[in-house]
Structure 1
Amino acid sequence: MVHMDVREKRYEVLDGLRGVAAIGVMLMHYSENTGRMLFVNADIAVDLFFVLSGFVLMHSYRSKLLLGLSAREYVRKRIIRLYPMFAISMAIGIPALIAAAMIGLADYPLRSIIVASLDNLLFLPYLGDHGVANMVSGAAHLPVEKYTVGEIFPANPSAWSLFFEMCASVALLVLIRLQRRDLIKLIIASAILLFGTGVLLGFEHKNAIPVFFGAGWGTRNFFAGFIRVSYGFSMGVLIYSLHENQTPLKFGRALSAVIRNDLALYLLFAVAIACPFGMKGLYPMAVIFFVAPLMVYCGANIAPTGRVGARVAHFLGWMSYPIYCLHFPIGRLIFMYFPGSEHRPAQAIALSVALTIVISVIVTKLLEEPVRTYLTKKFASRARVGLKAESVV
């Protein structure tokens, strides 16, 4: 007979949660220089992404790797999944960065843009110290000291997390073989280091944020990104292990009493990242260390509410990666060239959101998915056939 692996299950509500997080990040970036910032704490969504990635990759690849999928084939699959949409975003982002430099909204010389772009196209960070004014009208004249300095993916700043996502994907090869007690030790050590680096980075904010957890995106905080992803991804791996073994969590049961369906989960996370309070770093710390992991734990046990809920979850999950990849370069261009965007930020945000969604749908359907299908058939099909053969017992 054919062995039916429980890992074939799809966690649709977690897909939907990822979509809500991606939309929150998009709205935060589009509104960051308008004076009325939306989803103020949406940078926490990246930590949720890392937890979700640990959970989902364990679900998708743990048994396959243990059954014989080679490390080379696994990494190849991850590159095929992540790179095409990233490359598309760079095709928009590089001209956008050049345009920003030409009209005085970036101090990147052409040589630095070329070097940064080549590094980034190889999925490597660019550790420079140039700056750019993001989501600002081309008619604006911001002083250089207000530029965002040292973005490691300057043509598409959001892509910084994809680099760490790829590093975490490779780390899964080791994490799947750790005993639970060793995994917990890794999580505790990462949490302590994350808090410690947060305190050190907080000094740079001159007491505005005593504990700063938004590391990884820039040259000055780049190495702290490894600690950030280590905690989130390892936590996701642990949550999957607990979920697979149906291990009850005291706080998980308490949160489940509040989160009874998918809509409640989406709404609660939206409220969490929209909360305008930082409480000197304590609020982000609580979400990163407790709320986000528990939401993933609870979301894994929730089914979509009917057909409509399933369709919404599917659409949100399907759109999450293209929105995350494409929104920054699209928004940068729109804000630069939309007439009067500094005086009409709501219109600029609405246009940016609408175009991001439309372009994401078109690009995904007509370009990214066909490219991924082709690359999978050409480079990753043999591993899939081999594993199918092993599932017959």
Structure 2
Amino acid sequence: MPQRFVTLDLFRGLAAIAVLLFHAERVVPRGYLAVDLFFMLSGFVLYRAYSDRLGDWNQIGDFIIRRIIRLYPLMLAGAAIGLLVKGGSWWVLLLVPTGTNLLYFENVVLWSLLLEVFASIAFALLFRFGKPIGIAFVLIGAIALASSVQFHGDANLGFRWETFWPGVARVMFGFTLGVGIGAFFKPERIRTSGWGYALALPPVPFLMMPAGSIMPDLIAIFFVFPAITILGANIQVPEAKSAIWLGSMSYAFYVIHFPLLRLAQQYQVATIWVLAGCVIAAWLLERFYDRNARRFLTMGLDALQRRYRTRSGLANSAA
């Protein structure tokens, strides 16, 4: 297995940009679909990275803590920026949803990251039950999501309280299907080809279709995104530095773009400049804040684990 799935990094970066362009006066009319691709990619990558490290409860607990360390620093940054720009409740800094209509008035995208945390925890706790539980989750999620899309008219669900449970269906289906794709993935089939860049093209027509029909959403979520995830995992793009860079900054970009976009719109800043500003801000946050915050928290966790092992060893020796 390669150290990174660089084509999937490319997808993550482009998906984050699509979400911003959706929030920017619907420049990409169905950019919300990129969130479903995020969920699928997360499930795939987590399975490939951790499937051999969830054998007992100590490993499960370690995974959950490290996953929170991976996600929380930038979630906190996004919550803090949203609070500064739009006001709201200080509880948002602890990721507590307190909005009356939106889950997170301060920064609407936090709903998907909250569900990402829950999905990661569920993955760790249920992994030992094997494929049957995964198949059940995919089927239940698919039925619930398709029904919700039909009822509400599109798949832009989860960020409001009234569509919270349909949002749960989105992550249940997408994340679990990504895990399933990871389970059947064969590393020996990987090859490097420039055709990997072309895999970013099939979602474009669906993202750009105007509102009015549920079929583009259903086709993209149930067919196009699984297909490009499978192909993207098997085809590595050459000259991968730009793809890796896009993937590295995509999380920070996603979590900060909404409040910065709203702030820029108050001053009628053109979308292209907002996009450029978000890219720069995301790079700075990822490089100088997120890496250091995660390093500090990981060092603290490692120190606590060493102390625990030392005490356990002494106790066993005394016994």
TM-score (norm 1): 0.72
- 1:353-372 per-position Cα deviation (integer Å, ceiling 9, x unaligned): 12111111122222221111
- 1:296-346 per-position Cα deviation (integer Å, ceiling 9, x unaligned): 0111001122xx3x011111101110110111111111111x2xx2xxxxx
Q: Conserved in 1, the CA contact under 8 Å of 2:48 and 2:183?
A: no
Sequence identity (%): 31
1:176 counterpart SS class: helix
Aligned residues: 305
Give the Cα–Cα distance (whole angstroms) in 1 for the partners of residues 74 and 178 of structure 2.
Answer: 24
Output aligned runs, 1:30-49, within 5 Å: 30=24, 32=25, 37-49=26-38
Unaligned runs of 5+ in 1: 1-5, 99-112, 129-149, 203-208, 248-255, 342-346, 387-393
Q: 1:177 to 1:244 in 2, by over 3 A?
A: farther
Give the Cα–Cα distance (whole angstroms) in 2 for the partners of residues 232 and 381 of structure 1.
Answer: 35
Aligned residue in 2 for 1:25: 19
Please point out which of 326, 329, 346 is paired with 2:256: 326
- 1:181-238 per-position Cα deviation (integer Å, ceiling 9, x unaligned): 44223211221111222333x2xxxxxx3xx322110111112211111111110111
Give the Cα–Cα distance (whole angstroms) in 2 for the partners of residues 64 and 368 of structure 1.
Answer: 24
Structure 2 residue 44 is matched with structure 1 residue 50: no
Q: Conserved in 2, the CA contact under 8 Å of 1:11 and 1:300?
A: yes
Please point out which of 96, 107, 112 is paired with 1:124: 96
Give the Cα–Cα distance (whole angstroms) in 1 for the partners of residues 83 and 8 of structure 2.
Answer: 32
Aligned residue in 1 for 2:200: 266
Structure 2 residue 112 is matched with structure 1 residue 161: yes
Q: 1:45 to 1:70 in 2, by over 3 A?
A: same
Q: Conserved in 1, the CA contact under 8 Å of 2:158 and 2:164?
A: yes
1:63 counterpart SS class: coil
Please point out which of 41, 52, 66 is paired with 1:77: 66
Give the Cα–Cα distance (whole angstroms) in 2 for the partners of residues 383 and 268 of structure 1.
Answer: 46
Structure 2 residue 299 is matched with structure 1 residue 377: yes
Computing the radius of gyration from Cα coordinates, the structure with the larger value is 1
Give the Cα–Cα distance (whole angstroms) in 2 for the partners of residues 29 and 321 of structure 1.
Answer: 16
Please point out which of 69, 75, 79 is paired with 1:86: 75
- 1:260-309 per-position Cα deviation (integer Å, ceiling 9, x unaligned): 72210123334442x2244520110111111111110111001122xx3x
**Equivalent residue letter for 2:85:** A
Aligned residue in 2 for 1:188: 139
Deviates more, 1:189-198 or 1:55-64: 189-198
1:151 counterpart SS class: coil
2:199 counterpart SS class: helix
The Cα RMSD (Å) is: 2.4
Please point out which of 221, 225, 249 is paired with 2:167: 225
Unaligned runs of 5+ in 2: 309-319
**Equivalent residue letter for 1:78:** R
Give the Cα–Cα distance (whole angstroms) in 2 for the partners of residues 242 and 224 of structure 1.
Answer: 27
Q: Conserved in 2, the CA contact under 8 Å of 1:21 and 1:270?
A: no
**Equivalent residue letter for 1:375:** L
Q: 1:198 to 1:173 in 2, by over 3 A?
A: same
Q: 1:381 to 1:324 in 2, by over 3 A?
A: farther
**Equivalent residue letter for 2:264:** I
Superposed displacement of residue 173, structure 1: 1.7
Superposed displacement of residue 177, structure 1: 2.3
Output aligned runs, 1:139-218, within 5 Å: 150-200=101-151, 202=152, 209=153, 212-218=154-160
Aligned residue in 1 for 2:84: 95
Please point out which of 267, 278, 282 is paired with 1:360: 282
Superposed displacement of residue 162, structure 1: 0.1
Give the Cα–Cα distance (whole angstroms) in 2 for the partners of residues 378 and 189 of structure 1.
Answer: 39
Superposed displacement of residue 48, structure 1: 0.6
1:280 counterpart SS class: coil
1:45 counterpart SS class: helix
1:368 counterpart SS class: helix
**Equivalent residue letter for 1:83:** Y
**Equivalent residue letter for 1:295:** I
Deviates more, 1:64-73 or 1:226-235: 64-73
Q: Conserved in 1, the CA contact under 8 Å of 2:187 and 2:234?
A: no
Give the Cα–Cα distance (whole angstroms) in 2 for the partners of residues 373 and 44 of structure 1.
Answer: 32
Q: 1:291 to 1:178 in 2, by over 3 A?
A: farther
Q: Which has the higher helix share?
A: 2
Output aligned runs, 1:252-263, within 5 Å: 261-263=195-197
2:43 counterpart SS class: helix
**Equivalent residue letter for 2:12:** R
Q: 1:12 to 1:175 in 2, by over 3 A?
A: farther
Aligned residue in 2 for 1:304: 237
Please point out which of 219, 223, 228 is paired with 1:295: 228
Give the Cα–Cα distance (whole angstroms) in 1 for the partners of residues 261 and 156 of structure 2.
Answer: 21
- Displacement over 4 Å in runs of 4+: 380-384
